[in-house]
Amino acid sequence: MYKYFIFILCFVYWSVQINGQTILTPFERSNGKQTATYDEIIDFYKQLSNKFSSVQIMQDAPLSADAQYPLSTVIFNGKHLGNDTVVTILINNGIHAGEPDGIDACMMLMRDAATGKVKIPDNIVLVVIPVFNIGGVLNRTNYSRANQAGPESYGFRGNWQNLDLNRDFIKLDAPETHSLESIFHIFKTDIFIDNHVSDGADYQHIMTLLATQHDKLGGETGAFMNDVFVPLVYKDMKKRGYDLVPYVNDFRTTPDNGWTEFYDPPRFSSGYAALSHIMAFVPETHMLKPFDQRVKATYELMCSFINIASVHAKEIKSARKNDIKTTLGQLEFPLSWKVDTSKFAMINFKGYEAGYKASNVSGMLRLYYDHKKPFTKQVPFYNYFVPDKMVTAPQYYVIQQGWKEVISRLSVNHVKFVQMQNDTTITLSVYRIEKYETQNHPYEKHYQHYNVSVTKHTETIHLIKGDYLIPTQQEAKRYLVETLEPTGPDGFFAWNFFDAILQEKEYYSDYVFEDVAAQMLEKNADLRKLLDDQKLKDTVFAKDGRAQLDFVYRHSPYYEPEHMRYPIFRID
Ligand SMILES: [Zn+2]
């Protein structure tokens, strides 16, 4: 074991020296066939940071990961951090560790930036997460990406808890995602890039680009991204030899008649970034293209982002600043969006003709793409979305201190609180959960709720010292509304954080409560009328003695107010 360790050290030393001080990556040493292991990645960046003062590697708390290895962040031009005119680009790699293209591309990019081969302008701070899903990268395999052309071996999609980290940005089940959200805020990210490899249809493009949905990003930033930034990236990448196409979001049919843009709610990294008015991109290289081509395309795309961001730094900074300010005055917020099929962009799609032939497995017809029949044509891309469900933001949300899991997630997102100094009783706006449905199967460790409907009323609530008042007049306003409103499809209620309120804790014995209920009806004419009206409205109810007794119980002071009462209150 010791001898083996010495050999490894010598090999690293040799590889540095033999190339005249150029530190080569495992990708380069294998002629584009291999991706770096976790140890190789970290060793490489440590060597870079030892050799070049422009590169810093950070492995400090709170940057922890679930596999007991620190989550690392590598920074270029770090000395310019905090400067108001500087654009911070955060690049995340290996969130799906079986899709390692960005890992190897960024190793070369950071080295080339350090040696000056690639010029990173002074108004760009580059923050790279060398590998995000550390548990996944350590779980190396040759098979988990059945339809991917290399590398020779690679990590697994799930982390140590078998979570898909790119669904974790609201629920935050994984410590890695907690860390990444801290990184977003610590570095005041302006542009976020999350490198992936696609699945799905076959076509000629090596690189596809998913931009966060521009209407949903909204404001000046959404318009700038869609009208200026993305077209410039397409133009620049064409010059670099890559025809981009939007992420081919079509998994049921062939894409030759166009497709609808991928809708990225905040559970995804790009949708999460959009909550903070950050331009976000998910490059998806095509899985059937050889690994070396995919990595080179990713490298060029990162360079393209850097150059265009540098030229347009002023517009990027000003758009985001204005959007944060505008959002403070915004009253109505969309919680969900739907595609507007009346509008679309036409895009240049380079595909392959699809056909059907008999399957050698089942004998049934199967799809295939004919590489001898490439085509280029204009297809519609439905990339306009309109708000679906709207909600009005309150002045404050009020949350009792017992909901610690929610409070900790707000803290990660730099939400500002005021804690009550004394016990008090106060009238607040309160939601009651009237109806909801729950998924039958777990999705990323949760049985999500959907189709949630609520009623709203005012109620006197007793708060105690230490409970939280959360003003919505803060930078995190959109995050607060989308996570704390109970009807939000990606809110904390949907993700099961408040399931305890859905179950009654106390109840009654029928034979005892019969007499209490009868007395109540005798003394309370309004309650009697309510019961009689319900019997007239509902004939099944009119014949159900048990249901009627329960109706009286639920309209009596004995019924616990906490049941179905959404525990985040509002000051409107
Ligand atoms: Zn992926």
3-state SS of 173-232 is CCHHHHHHHHHHHHCCCCEEEECEECCCCCECCCEEEEECCHHHHCHHHHHHHHHHHHHH
Domain with 165 in it: what CATH number?
3.40.630.10
Tokens of 512: 């005892």
Q: Is residue 303 domain-shared with residue 428, that is, in the same domain? A: no
Quick one: pLDDT at residue 360?
Answer: 95
What are the two backbone dihedrals, phi and then psi, of residue 380, each rounded to the nearest 5 degrees? Answer: -75, 140
Interatomic CA distance for residues 65 and 447, integer angstroms = 25
Ligand 1 center from residue 155 Cα (angstroms): 12
Cα(559) to ligand 1 centroid in Å equals 48
The pTM for the full model equals: 0.92
DSSP 327-357: HHT--EEEEEEEE-TT--EEEEEEEEEEEEE
In this structure, the answer to whether residues 316 and 400 fall within a common structural domain is no
CA of 96 to the centre of ligand 1 (A): 5
129 and 214 belong to one structural domain: yes
What 3-state DSSP class applies to 433? Answer: strand
Helix, strand, coil percentages for the chain (3-state, nearest 5): 35, 25, 40
Mean pLDDT of 266-288: 98
Alpha carbon dihedral 36, 40, 43, 46, in 10-degree steps, equals 10
Centre of ligand 1 from the C-alpha of residue 99, in Å: 6
pLDDT, tens digit, 9 for 90 and up, residues 288-324: 999 999 999 999 999 999 999 999 999 999 999 999 9
Nearest in space to 301 (alpha carbons), one of 249, 232, 360: 232
Asked, for residue 506, whether it belongs to a domain, the answer is: yes
Pair (129, 276) in one structural domain: yes
Neighbours of 336 (CB within 10 A): 17
Compute the distance from residue 370 Cα to the ligand 1 centre, in Å: 26
* Structure token digits, residue 36: 């770096």
Which residue has better confidence, 252 or 78? 78
Q: Alpha helix locations (H) across 401-476? A: 404-412
The per-residue pLDDT for 63 is 57
Q: Tell me the CA–centroid distance for residue 419 and ligand 1, in Å.
A: 40
What lies within 8 Å, CB to CB, of 239 at 6+ separation is none
Q: Are residues 40 and 189 in the same domain?
A: yes
412 CA → ligand 1 middle, Å: 24
User: What distance in Å separates the CA atoms of residue 431 and residue 456, rounded to the nearest whole number?
Assistant: 5
Helix (H) or strand (E) holding 442: none
Q: How much is the average pLDDT of 353-358?
A: 94
389: closest CA among 473, 460, 302, 491? 491
Is 338 part of a structural domain of the chain? no
Do 325 and 187 lie in one domain? The reply is yes
**The pairing of beta strand 468-471 with beta strand 418-419:** antiparallel
Does position 21 have pLDDT exceeding 70, yes or no? Answer: no
**Inter-CA distances, 148 with 51, 172, 281, Å:** 35, 29, 22
pLDDT score of 335 more than 90:
yes
Residue 14 lies in a domain: no
Q: Which two tokens stand for residue 400?
A: 């009792």
Distance (Å) from CA 470 to ligand 1 centroid = 35
Of 312, 329, 346, the residue that ends a domain is: 329
Q: Are 444 and 300 contained in the same domain?
A: no
Q: What is the pLDDT of residue 60?
A: 67
Q: How many domains does the chain have?
A: 2
How far is the centre of ligand 1, averaged over its atoms, from the C-alpha of 284 (Å)?
7
Q: How far is the CA of 231 from the centre of ligand 1 (A)?
A: 24
| Whether residue 38 sits in one domain with residue 172 | yes
Note the Cα 343 to chain centre separation in Å.
Answer: 26
Average pLDDT over residues 41-70: 84
**570 and 472 inside one domain:** yes
Residues of the domain holding 80: 33-329
- Last residue of some domain: 310, 329, 348? 329
For residue range 209-249, list pLDDT tens digits in order.
Answer: 999 999 999 999 999 999 999 999 999 999 999 999 999 98
**Domain shared by 404 and 324, yes or no:** no
CA of 19 to the centre of ligand 1 (A): 34
The CA-based dihedral angle spanning residues 78, 119, 212, 345, taken in that order and rounded to the nearest 10 degrees: 160
Task: Please give the Cα distance from 363 to 369 (Å, whole number).
Answer: 18
d(CA 263, CA 197): 18
Closest CA to 169 of 264, 236, 103, 63: 264
User: Is the pLDDT at 3 greater than 90, yes or no?
Assistant: no
| pLDDT, tens only, 465-510 | 999 999 999 999 999 999 999 999 999 999 999 999 999 999 999 9
Identity of residue 483: T
Quick check: helix, strand or coil at residue 159? coil
Beta-ladder partners of 376: 350
What is the 8-class DSSP label of residue 149?
-
Burial zone of 485 (CB within 10 Å; 0-12 exposed, 13-18 middle, 19+ buried) = buried
Residue 170: which of 273, 94, 299, 82 has the closest Cα? 273
CA of 154 to the centre of ligand 1 (A): 13
Answer yes or no: is 115 within a domain: yes
pLDDT mean across residues, the chain: 93
Question: Does a structural domain hold residue 408?
Answer: yes
- Going from the Cα of 26 to the center of ligand 1, the distance in angstroms, rounded, reads 22
Q: For residues 87 and 307, what is the distance between their CA atoms, to the nearest angstrom?
A: 11
Residue 294 lies in a domain: yes
What's the 42 CA to ligand 1 centre distance in angstroms?
Answer: 22
3-state secondary structure at position 120: coil
Neighbouring residues of 407: CB distance < 8 A, sequence distance ≥ 6: 399, 401, 417, 468
Is the same domain home to 268 and 397?
no
Query: Ligand 1: distance of its center to the CA of 199 in Å?
Result: 8
CA distance 43 to 229: 35
Inter-CA distances, 470 with 172, 414, 477, 487, Å: 20, 12, 10, 19
Q: How confident is the model at residue 17 (pLDDT cuts 50, 70, 90)?
A: very low
Q: Which amino acid is at 162?
A: N
pLDDT of residue 82: 85
Decide if 168 is inside a domain.
yes
Please indicate, yes or no, if residue 20 is contained in any of the structural domains: no
Q: How far is it, in rounded angstroms, from Cα 481 to Cα 477?
A: 6
Q: Give residue 12's identity as a one-letter amino acid code.
A: V
Domain identity same for 322 and 399: no
What pLDDT was estimated at residue 68? 74
Quote the CA–CA distance of 12 and 6 in Å, as a whole number. 10
**Distance, CA 193 to ligand 1 centroid (Å)?**
12
Q: Please report the pLDDT score of residue 61 as a whole number.
A: 53
- Residues whose CB is less than 8 angstroms from the CB of residue 28 and which lie 6 or more positions away in sequence, other chains included: 108
Ligand 1 center to 268 CA (angstroms) = 11
311: number of Cβ within 10 Å: 12
Cβ neighbours for 103, distance < 8 A, ≥ 6 positions apart: 35, 36, 41, 93, 94, 130, 131, 137, 195
Taking a C-beta distance cutoff of 8 angstroms, is the pair 455, 487 a contact? no
Cα of 166 to ligand 1 centre, how many Å? 8
C-alpha 128 to ligand 1 mean position (Å): 17
Find the distance separating the first CA and the last CA of the chain, reported in whole Å.
66
CA 141 to ligand 1 center in whole angstroms: 16
Q: How many angstroms separate the alpha carbon of residue 249 from the centre of ligand 1? A: 13
Distance 196 CA to ligand 1 centre (A): 4
From 305, 329, 353, give the residue that closes a domain: 329
* Gyration radius (Cα) of the chain, Å: 28
